[in-house]
A and B are shown apart, each in its own frame.
Chain A
Amino acid sequence: MKSLDTNESAVDLFESRLIRGGTRLIADLTEFFRDYRVDDTTFTIYAKGATRNKGFLLSRFLAWTVLPNYSVSLFCVDEGSTLLTTEKIRKNVDTVTRITKEEDLKWAWLVFFSGRDLPPSIVSFISRYDKKELGLAAASTSSRQVVLSNNQVGRSIGKQLKLGKTIGSNRTWKN
């Protein structure tokens, strides 16, 4: 009764990286939900955490004395083969912004996976998004294109969460 499925989807792989501590340098995500429903929006991945990581002995002591303990979250939407539109992105951004306020999050990441090429309107929308409390990213699993928002949190999706590596891309469109 032993088997191992090697055909992991990009979202599974992304989550797997996060579970193994992919965000450790900037935040410690500690709880992961799948197909998390908020009103009429379903997030493929919803992860909760804080900026103060646990570590061991010295790093734990440093975290407790130096790092602020802000709550942060990661939301991920898998559009599959459905066309990703700016309307969908706006709707998800609104939902995440509301959750950010309700749960008093310092910041949140919102990542979109699409099985189709990213239309220029999406690239333009995301790359020009610059609100500091929400980092946006979209990744196409077909063209291996990654777009990040023009803010610190958005850029960290490429650097820390390594979204490009997850979909096998070394190309990142950013301002």
Chain B
Amino acid sequence: MEKLTKTQVSILASYSMPLVLLSAFAINALLVSFHISTGTLRLVLLAGSFPIGFVLGRLIYTRRYHVEIQFDNSTFRVIKGSKEVVTGFWRSYRMVSLVLDQFGKPNLRLYKTKGGEHVDLPISRTNAEPQRFRDYAQSLVAGQRPREANPQVAEVA
């Protein structure tokens, strides 16, 4: 199965920054109790709040928010955090569209019937190139051979 995923830095930062602050308070309290109130050592130890906060934030982000889309030529799965939120067969759907969310980011929508029941795949939270992934999905729901195009986008340095 192919995977589409991307670390969402802004979300990771929003989870991590309060934990960085909390760990900084905790380290500071320890330093005060050990009577380390000045000097370079204090700054170095306080700087340790960043890796601690980001590691804890990363753990929470991975368990709760991180999105991964797994797919092959017959099935797809959307995993959010540690839960599988959507799963299905491409051939169960008849139409595909790109839908812009409230922030203007494109997600993939699969329709079972024209204008009827549908599911959304949050491809804007992954490294998928929206139009190419839509074309790929469309070739599968239409019962045609999948195109050779790679739906992942290149990482720009």
> Which residue of chain A has the shortest Cβ distance to B129 in the bound complex?
A4
In the complex, what residues of B have CB within 8 A of residue A54's CB?
102, 104
Residues A33 and B104 in contact, CB atoms below 8 Å apart:
no
Encoded as 1 (CB less than 8 Å from any A CB) or 0, chain B from 76 to 98 comes to 00000000000000000001111
In the complex, what residues of A have CB within 8 A of residue B131's CB?
12, 15-16, 19
Residues B104 and A21 in contact, CB atoms below 8 Å apart:
yes
Residues B150 and A30 in contact, CB atoms below 8 Å apart:
no
Residues B95 and A1 in contact, CB atoms below 8 Å apart:
no
Interface of A, secondary structure class, is: mixed
> Which residue of chain A has the shortest Cβ distance to B142 in the bound complex?
A35
Residues A31 and B100 in contact, CB atoms below 8 Å apart:
yes
In the complex, what residues of A have CB within 8 A of residue B96's CB?
33-34
Residues A3 and B150 in contact, CB atoms below 8 Å apart:
yes
Q: Given that A31-B99, A32-B98 are contacting pairs, would A19 and B106 also be in contact in the complex, using a CB cutoff of 8 Å?
A: yes
Q: Given that A31-B98, A31-B99 are contacting pairs, would A2 and B154 also be in contact in the complex, using a CB cutoff of 8 Å?
A: yes
In the complex, what residues of B have CB within 8 A of residue A32's CB?
97-99, 106, 134
Residues A31 and B97 in contact, CB atoms below 8 Å apart:
yes
Count contacts on A: residues with CB < 8 A to the other chain: 19
> Which residue of chain A has the shortest Cβ distance to B106 in the bound complex?
A19
In the complex, what residues of A have CB within 8 A of residue B117's CB?
none
Encoded as 1 (CB less than 8 Å from any A CB) or 0, chain B from 111 to 144 comes to 0000000000000000001111011001000000
> Which residue of chain B has the shortest Cβ distance to A15 in the bound complex?
B131
Q: Does A87 contact B (CB under 8 A)?
A: no
In the complex, what residues of B have CB within 8 A of residue A30's CB?
99-100
A31 to B97: give the CA distance in the assembly, Å: 7
Contact surface of B with A, Cβ cutoff 8 Å: 2, 95-100, 102, 104, 106, 109, 129-132, 134-135, 138, 149-150, 152-155
Q: Sorted from nearest, which 5 A-B pairs have the closest CB atoms? A: A4-B154, A32-B98, A30-B100, A33-B97, A2-B154
Q: What are 23 sample pairs from A and B whose C-beta atoms fall under 8 A apart?
A: A1-B152, A2-B150, A2-B153, A2-B154, A3-B150, A3-B152, A5-B132, A5-B149, A16-B131, A19-B100, A19-B106, A21-B104, A30-B99, A31-B99, A31-B100, A31-B109, A32-B98, A33-B95, A34-B96, A34-B134, A34-B138, A35-B138, A54-B104
